[in-house]
């Protein structure tokens, strides 16, 4: 069995310790974030990390057994010295695009980047293009694609168990770029096509006129005939729910994936047209940490050339849909065709706020003050 050398750039929460915050399942199964997943994977050796903040590097090294010789303040030095096969990019989105491109040019075989993919479509285009040119697989961490229950739902859809899919609705109170990347991506994953045009309504005219992350609602038209609905404005008791409606069946994910429902038509009802009836949702035959599934998928991409389940193109599509929804509002609620011609457009994801100091360090400083 080939052993792959892995390194992490950005050694904060998602790079190392996010798993410590998880106390129940739902949409997350452990190991989930980058460092723990590489450490647990049987055919991967976590050999290096890079972060300009000494505190984070020290915590990472102690946690995962790396000496200071393999901890770097400059990720470029790590890429040059460590001969890495797998690299995670867990930095702020403000600098993610350039780092991903540098990793691809350094000969890294597969890159696992945090979401959102970038701040602008132009940056996302460059990431996708350079990774293609260098033969590097790029995965974006819209991790619901690797959730075993969402994967089971997708397999049922592909097998035709729900019939032709008519509509996918996602309720998720969030900014369209930051956690909206998760919401839009799972909508695309279950709809199984590409979005051709959108209508969008943002939380306010003022928010739509700016460049910062914002909540909004949208109507998405897919090339396979599926229609999608996204509500990222306040959702009340329905937040983080997904509803897939087919001609013969329906799947609902409730309470942020804590519960899955399967509904089929049963005989009976008025004029014997059938009655929607709940049946047990089939549990996946394999349950493992989603980070392990992602690492396996990255290695499969290296060995077969197949794209990761959430590729750079998928990450770019999520950002483009978000921008398109905002552009629809800006233009007076008109239909906006995709792809967008103006690639300078983007959204400043909410995760870049105060990113001059990592979130974990801010929390440690607050706790000690």
* 41-87 pLDDT per residue, tens: 999 999 999 999 999 999 999 999 999 999 999 999 999 999 999 99
CA distance 182 to 253: 14
Count: domains in the chain: 2
CA distance 52 to 50: 7
Output the domain CATH number for residue 101: 3.40.50.720
Same domain, 243 and 304: no
Residue 368 placed within a domain = no
Supply angle C-alpha 360, 365, 369, rounded to 5. Answer: 150
pLDDT less than 70: residues of the chain: none
Same domain, 68 and 161: no
Same domain, 168 and 274: yes
Q: What are phi and psi of 245, to 5 degrees?
A: -110, 125
pTM for the whole thing? 0.96
Report the pLDDT value the prediction gives residue 353, as an integer from 0 to 100: 87
Report the pLDDT value the prediction gives residue 363, as an integer from 0 to 100: 72
CA distance 27 to 242: 12
Residue 351 placed within a domain = no
Residue 107 placed within a domain = yes
Output the domain CATH number for residue 272: 3.30.360.10
Report the pLDDT value the prediction gives residue 269, as an integer from 0 to 100: 81
Residue 32 placed within a domain = yes
Domain enclosing residue 42, as ranges: 4-143+289-310
Q: Are 136 and 112 within 8 A, CB to CB?
A: no
Supply angle C-alpha 310, 316, 322, rounded to 5. Answer: 110
* 106-133 pLDDT per residue, tens: 999 999 999 999 999 999 999 999 999 9
Residue 35 placed within a domain = yes
């Amino acid at each position: 069995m080939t052993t792959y050398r892995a390194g992490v750039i950005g050694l904060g929460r998602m790079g190392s310790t996010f798993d410590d915050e998880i106390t129940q399942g739902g949409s997350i199964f452990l190991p989930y974030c980058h460092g723990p997943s590489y450490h647990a994977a049987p055919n991967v050796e976590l050999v290096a990390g890079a972060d300009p903040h000494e505190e984070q590097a020290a915590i990472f090294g102690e946690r995962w057994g790396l000496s200071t010789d393999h901890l770097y303040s400059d990720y470029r030095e790590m890429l040059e010295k460590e001969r890495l096969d797998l690299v995670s990019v867990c930095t702020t989105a403000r600098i993610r695009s350039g780092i991903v491109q540098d990793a691809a040019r350094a000969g890294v075989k597969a890159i696992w980047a945090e979401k959102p993919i970038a701040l602008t479509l132009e940056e996302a285009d460059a990431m996708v293009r350079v990774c293609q040119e260098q033969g590097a697989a790029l995965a974006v961490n819209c991790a619901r694609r690797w959730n075993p229950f969402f994967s089971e739902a997708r397999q049922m859809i592909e097998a035709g168990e729900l019939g032709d899919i008519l509509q996918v609705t996602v309720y998720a109170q969030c900014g369209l770029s930051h956690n909206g990347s998760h919401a839009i991506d799972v909508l695309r994953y279950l709809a199984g096509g590409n979005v051709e045009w959108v209508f969008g309504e943002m939380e306010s005219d003022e928010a739509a006129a700016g460049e910062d992350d914002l909540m909004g609602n949208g109507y998405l038209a897919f090339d396979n005939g599926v229609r999608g609905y996204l509500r990222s404005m306040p959702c009340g008791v329905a937040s983080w729910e997904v509803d897939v409606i087919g001609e013969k069946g329906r799947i609902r994910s409730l309470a942020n994936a804590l519960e899955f429902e399967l509904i089929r038509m049963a005989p009976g009802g008025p004029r014997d047209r059938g009655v929607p009836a709940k049946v047990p949702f089939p549990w996946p035959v394999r349950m493992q940490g989603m980070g392990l599934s992602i690492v396996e998928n990255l290695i499969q991409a290296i060995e077969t050339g197949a794209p990761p389940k959430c590729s750079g193109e998928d990450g770019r599509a999520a950002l483009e849909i978000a921008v398109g929804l905002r552009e629809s509002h800006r233009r007076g609620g008109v239909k906006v065709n995709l792809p967008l011609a103006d690639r300078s457009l983007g959204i400043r994801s909410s995760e870049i706020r105060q990113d001059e100091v990592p979130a974990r360090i801010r929390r440690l400083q607050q706790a000690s003050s």
